[in-house]
Structure 1
């Protein structure tokens, strides 16, 4: 790499900047195109040129060498807290491990398990992790299991400030819900609703979007985030849809993602979540729906007919024993597929690799999907879901959201096609630089505005404090040592 140093971190350089590398992923005639020793020129936050032998004057030239200059990755289910799903990887069943509130906890009064300053820190730390992995646009997602009810405006005001300071493009507002699942007996969950609380959350989210939309040079935009389909009433969803139309924003609603949800919605509504919303006229291109792993054929047909985008998160789904059936089948239906990480690590390249594998397992064949299809989903698919033609691609007029991935990592040797190499290599650790709207937000593992090494230590302390509170909201209130025993017998030095 030449022509760039750490003094540029956190800055948008004046004048024109030319980036080059062994490979550039440009975009022309509706598709990505690989350019050998290509060039990207941007000024301010806008791409001016993508091709070879730029004839104009430039203020600086940066050569990344054996690397791919790529459009920044788009993550529509981007983890924005300290991941609690990893507690469930080896600890089952979920109802016994604090994944559902027991009645005793509800009656005692649910409480916030993090302090306000801890919630603000988590967003900042999570945004730094996204930038480390070449993600330039994110829709934050967090668990409500450890919350008193929904997310707060204060933490999202802090999140907007963090995104502006670190240099990350985000679509966000506090998540809200009308209800939640409560554990009445081992393995038996029932929904409990508080309609006014859900409507209050929607009003707060709308007000947040009205205040924050367009701030920090348009890095901040709004998206309404009702939590999960089984925690929402029809009135809440209708009002959400109306608000989205008024605000001109999208809605993200988790749906068709798990057995508990499918069972709960069928008991409440007599059908599946997508069919329920379809009957109410609430499926449209405004809706972005993670994860579709439990979608029926009819559900997928309804998504296709109404322009709903799926957010595919293969890593977190695969860890839980489920998968989209399948990426290629959904694409053949004409469904737009975007990508999400939704877990730690926030590694989109790893998700693309797992997505390739699970699709081929679901299809029972290797020739229905290519690495480029998944890379398209992480760029063009995410942009389409957001209604943006200036993201997810490198072409004149696009925003200068750029990720640079090294191709000289020894683990990925030998290299062939750069896209195949990155998807099969499967690690965001090869990300060398991340530009957002022309600003250098990450370079060689350093993120503008946050010391990620020190933040990692703080994150661990906060997480340990959260885990210590799990007995409060677990069935029978067993000690942490019973909830989450180590993988092997753990011994200490008593000497």
Structure 2
């Protein structure tokens, strides 16, 4: 059979510019595309797979996709960040920053993390990783490995190594400042541009280029203007973290006399291809400029809420016409958990009836597609790419609506199968060529090794036991 017909209790299809629900529905795949969405009794010839009590959902689009062994989880109960290895001390900079992972470990980390994205129903990903434990930026070699891993695993990915003009440094009094090496940042951009030209369109178009200047407060005007020009020529997205902390606001104000987004606007960098994760500390004027330029806000509610932050507010950003996509940005890379946290924090910000579940679901599907300029993604309809996430409801207490059930009873562990470009890249939680159990053992050992080296880049170089204090006293 040249066609495959997937059926389930619930199918979230797409009609007339919006998602619709088919109860007892089907999705028909031919090649890389969807050719039909409708009732389960579709009469055509096809290989048939019945998922029963499940949701056939558009694959999730992750605009800030965790591709790391996430160090932010170490800060859950350990603060302030500058005392806990999240800001380089002057002594570490003087001694010379170094890579805390080997090239082989960096390659493994990418493959491991990309597999976790698939396991959580993410079909399109723009990887993000921390630069705190790096010598400076990400390397082309590790992204060559990431491209190979994405191609083998079947993930749709926008790839590009992060680069920056500077970093944050703290002194003995806890004062944080930025240190710059602009030439190094520009060399990083040149290498990223060369990589982008080589991989854009690979794997039948599943691999695309992106540009990742790290943070607004660690990039110079020259770096961002050049990024703007190269990305515009390639029609590639640019992702840059912004408005996520008081430290960022203070550094940008000291350097440029304004707010982060206003500065991007003044230097002519901001545009519709700019993806801006977080925005939890954005001013009203910042949000106005994001809307005016057609840039996208990337909402990462789980990592923000863990540290007491939230977007203020999702509802008002939508009302301003801002495109909102979703990002995971922390372990676990559970998009469903992020949707649930996003709904809860939106209601905390604006009241219990400020937002409904479908607004978050739209952000993880249509919002991400709009941000990337991809009307062929984020929806199940004829002519769209066959990127489908199958969410098993066998352990869920079902409401009369599949999206509300997703928001109340499910997690990433309920993702059963994933289809990307018409290929089943995960079946019954198994990814061909990827052993989750052995990979998890290796990932933990690698993470433990990183933790052991934390004193090198922590202010005062205290032992690990003082950097990360336990919840309770260890029993004797």
TM-score when normalising by structure 1: 0.95
Q: Is the 8 A contact 1:353 1:425 kept in 2?
A: no
Structure 1 residues 100-128: Cα deviation after superposition (integer angstroms, max 9, x where no partner): 00000000000000000000001111111
Partner of 2:270: 283
Alignment of 1:143-154 (within 5 A): 143-154=130-141
**2:60 aligned with 1:76, yes or no?**
no
Match of 1:57 among 45, 51, 76: 45
In 2: Cα distance, 1:377 partner to 1:294 partner? 20
Once superposed, what is the RMSD of the aligned Cα atoms?
1.0
* Counterparts in 2 of 1:149 and 1:139: CA distance versus 1, 3 Å: same
Shift of 1:426: 4.5
Structure 1 residues 75-107: Cα deviation after superposition (integer angstroms, max 9, x where no partner): 111110100000100001100000000000000
Match of 1:85 among 49, 61, 72: 72
Match of 2:165 among 170, 178, 182: 178
Count residues in correspondence: 475
Secondary structure, in 3 states, of the residue corresponding to 1:48? strand
Alignment of 1:94-493 (within 5 A): 94-363=81-350, 365-409=351-395, 412-491=396-475
Structure 1 residues 294-325: Cα deviation after superposition (integer angstroms, max 9, x where no partner): 00011001111110100000000000111000
In 2: Cα distance, 1:105 partner to 1:76 partner? 32
Q: Is the 8 A contact 1:351 1:426 kept in 2?
A: no
Q: Is the 8 A contact 1:352 1:426 kept in 2?
A: no
Shift of 1:257: 1.0
Shift of 1:450: 0.8
Partner of 1:27: 14
Secondary structure, in 3 states, of the residue corresponding to 2:425? strand
Q: Is the 8 A contact 1:230 1:264 kept in 2?
A: yes
Shift of 1:488: 1.2
Q: Is the 8 A contact 2:398 2:409 kept in 1?
A: no
For structure 1, which runs of at least 5 residues remain unmatched after alignment?
1-13
For structure 2, which runs of at least 5 residues remain unmatched after alignment?
none
Q: Is the 8 A contact 1:95 1:186 kept in 2?
A: no
In 2: Cα distance, 1:187 partner to 1:420 partner? 45
In 2: Cα distance, 1:96 partner to 1:484 partner? 10
In 2: Cα distance, 1:186 partner to 1:436 partner? 51
Shift of 1:414: 4.2
Secondary structure, in 3 states, of the residue corresponding to 1:388? coil
Structure 1 residues 264-319: Cα deviation after superposition (integer angstroms, max 9, x where no partner): 00000000110011112222111000010000011001111110100000000000
In 2: Cα distance, 1:286 partner to 1:483 partner? 39
Q: Is the 8 A contact 1:72 1:392 kept in 2?
A: yes
**2:23 aligned with 1:36, yes or no?**
yes
In 1: Cα distance, 2:424 partner to 2:307 partner? 36
Shift of 1:216: 1.4
In 2: Cα distance, 1:316 partner to 1:490 partner? 28
Structure 1 residues 382-426: Cα deviation after superposition (integer angstroms, max 9, x where no partner): 0000110000001111111000111221xx314331101101224
In 1: Cα distance, 2:397 partner to 2:205 partner? 39
Structure 1 residues 18-61: Cα deviation after superposition (integer angstroms, max 9, x where no partner): 00101111101000000011111011111111112434321x10
Structure 1 residues 143-176: Cα deviation after superposition (integer angstroms, max 9, x where no partner): 0000000000000000000001111110011000
Structure 1 residues 413-468: Cα deviation after superposition (integer angstroms, max 9, x where no partner): 14331101101224111111001111111122211221011000000000000000
In 1: Cα distance, 2:216 partner to 2:168 partner? 12
In 2: Cα distance, 1:426 partner to 1:490 partner? 34
Q: Is the 8 A contact 1:78 1:342 kept in 2?
A: yes
Partner of 1:5: none
Shift of 1:486: 1.8
In 2: Cα distance, 1:259 partner to 1:426 partner? 34
In 1: Cα distance, 2:431 partner to 2:73 partner? 25
In 2: Cα distance, 1:377 partner to 1:414 partner? 22
Q: Is the 8 A contact 1:80 1:126 kept in 2?
A: yes
Secondary structure, in 3 states, of the residue corresponding to 1:86? helix
